[in-house]
Amino acid sequence: MRTTIDIDEQLLAYAILRSAQQGCTLKQVIEDALREFFLAII
């Protein structure tokens, strides 16, 4: 699903760097982080 959100520039830069380091997409980094967060609070 496509959506638009406002993300802090520094946080976005970190996510972009992380995606480059891992050789994956920004989408995957954000999805993985959200998944980890929500599974940790369940």
Instruction: Evaluate whether residue 4 is within a structural domain.
Output: no
Domain-embedded: residue 1: no
- Token pair 């406002």: residue: 6
Sign of the Cα torsion 32, 38, 40, 42 reads negative
Q: Which domain holds residue 18?
A: 9-41
Number of domains in the chain: 1
Is residue 26 a part of any domain in this protein? yes
Please give the pLDDT value at position 12.
Answer: 97
How many distinct helices (H) and strands (E) make up the chain?
2, 0
* pLDDT for residue 24: 98
- What pLDDT is recorded for position 42? 82
In a domain, 28, yes or no: yes
Residue 2 lies in a domain: no
For 1-42, the pLDDT digits (tens) are 999 999 999 999 999 999 999 999 999 999 999 999 999 998
